[in-house]
Structure 1
Amino acid sequence: MIRVLLVDDQRLIRAGLRMLLESTSDFLVVGEAADGVEAVRAAAELAPDLVLMDLRMPGRDGTSATRDIRAARPESKVLVLTTFDDDDHLYPALAAGASGYLVKDTDPADLLAAMRRTMEGDMLFSPALLRRLVERAVTTPEPPPARVGLTPREHDILDLVGDGYANQEIADRLHLGLSTVKTHIANLLDKTGTDNRVRLAVYADRSRRNQPLE
């Protein structure tokens, strides 16, 4: 059971999210907060697995609350759900430690899937945001990175990360256990010097042009 804290200043939004999550068998809403101050306090008291976080709220905003929640409790993941899809909100939220960034017009089924994938270690974005992030990265003038020091299996997994597959999908395609895939992903982050899944996907895309095997 995934324990969820809902953070949004609009009571109607929180009620709708609660109804959606309570219609599932794998999510449990453990609390709600209407601003960043309440969110930090509730996260400390309730120890949620996942915080669904709005950004623009009266008083303390969601970005600063995300930073404090992640600092105090790194095992709690924060998934942003907001109406704002501009870079001025996106990048500060990611820098604060958010595990993903979705806009509020996301389909309910896609939101539930994103929440599950976040708990599996994926980093989720609304499609338009992800395209913008990747396009910006791959059009930078730096030469493509070389894939050095990777095992053949790591090459396979890196390609699938670059194609947007989730951990469970990678496990199914390569006939591996989910824990094995997570271990490979952690090793890839370390070997490529990337610090999250989006940057690893960008690395995969750019390095396809230069893939020497050791």
Structure 2
Amino acid sequence: MSIRVLIVEDNAVARSFLTRVVRESFSDEIRFSEATDLDSARRWLGIGPGEHAHASADGFRLILCDLEQPDSAGLELLAQLADYPAIKIATTLHSDDEHLFPALLCGANGYLLKEDRFEVLVEELQRIVRGQPPLSPAMARRMLGQFRQHDSRLAPLDSGHGALDSSGSADSLSTRENEVLTYLSKGYTVKEIARLMGIKWQAVNDHVRVVYRKLALASSPEEGLQVGRQADF
């Protein structure tokens, strides 16, 4: 069965480049749909302004959404995709957390920096699809701060250990998740964290993936959209 992919990008050169990245990343047959703006993306998804997209029998499995569109249109689309069962990836020219964090609040599963080399983007896309989203130290600090707003029991950043609710609720981190984020916020690599915690590096990535999901569940899409409009896009 072929994979349906939607690429939302107003720049034709960037759109062609991202199409090549996706083709190189998968051995499956791929059916591409392209949208140059928010309205055309909504038409592909069969939704109108303010409506949330939902699963369909032949829905998209991968959506790449440009964040450099006017009026935070990329974030607005991600907010409408909050309940859509696809891998949603923000594409951007900006690597700072001020631009990327709103996309994660809106439910993006990861991000790609369009100025990276072709080979790097292919590798990063494959990692995200496998559930290994990128997470810089600055982004990890922002995530810890966000969860701290939802859970006053979150341990201080420097401790690395917290007496947290391990029930897996959307607005709190487990002890392990807090520990992983804390190490990441200090610049440790995944393999270094695995060694320090005495677990496999794949388990570290599993924790990061869960944190991404919890972040989106604990935050409303409107919150991410509002944060994005406060940033300098």
Q: Same fold (TM over 0.5)?
A: yes
Change (3 A) 1:14 1:138: closer
Match of 1:55 among 43, 58, 67: 67
Q: Which structure is richer in relative contact order (CA contacts within 8 A, separation 6 or more)? A: 2
The answer as to whether partners of 1:36 and 1:62 remain within 8 angstroms in 2 is: yes
Aligned residue pairs: how many?
171
Change (3 A) 1:33 1:100: same
> What is the alpha-carbon distance in structure 1 between the residues aligned to residue 176 and residue 13 of structure 2?
44
Residue 131 of structure 1 aligns with an amino acid whose one-letter code is: P
Hey, what does 2:214 align to over in structure 1? Answer: 195
Residue 124 (structure 2) pairs with residue 114 (structure 1): yes
Residue 110 (structure 2) pairs with residue 100 (structure 1): yes
**What TM-score results when the alignment is normalised by the length of structure 1?**
0.60
> What is the alpha-carbon distance in structure 1 between the residues aligned to residue 144 and residue 104 of structure 2?
19
Residue 28 of structure 1 aligns with an amino acid whose one-letter code is: I
CA drift of 1:55 comes to 1.0
The answer as to whether partners of 2:38 and 2:77 remain within 8 angstroms in 1 is: yes
> What is the alpha-carbon distance in structure 2 between the residues aligned to residue 50 and residue 93 of structure 1?
16
CA drift of 1:37 comes to 2.2
Q: How does 1:132-151 map to 2 (within 5 A)?
A: 132-135=138-141, 142=156, 143=159, 144-146=161-163
Hey, what does 1:164 align to over in structure 2? Answer: 190
User: What's the secondary structure of 1:70's corresponding residue?
Assistant: coil
The answer as to whether partners of 1:35 and 1:59 remain within 8 angstroms in 2 is: no
> Alpha carbon RMSD of aligned pairs, Å?
4.2
Deviations 1:120-141, CA, capped at 9 Å, x for gaps = 233235xxxx121235667998
Hey, what does 1:22 align to over in structure 2? Answer: 23
The answer as to whether partners of 1:22 and 1:28 remain within 8 angstroms in 2 is: yes
> What is the alpha-carbon distance in structure 2 between the residues aligned to residue 156 and residue 87 of structure 1?
23
The answer as to whether partners of 2:132 and 2:206 remain within 8 angstroms in 1 is: no
> What is the alpha-carbon distance in structure 1 between the residues aligned to residue 137 and residue 175 of structure 2?
23
Hey, what does 1:202 align to over in structure 2? Answer: none
Change (3 A) 1:157 1:67: closer
Hey, what does 1:91 align to over in structure 2? Answer: 101
Hey, what does 1:6 align to over in structure 2? Answer: 7
Deviations 1:25-84, CA, capped at 9 Å, x for gaps = 24624201111222233244862111111012246610010110223x1x1121111112
The answer as to whether partners of 1:70 and 1:77 remain within 8 angstroms in 2 is: no
- Unpaired stretches in structure 1, ≥5 consecutive residues: 166-172, 198-214
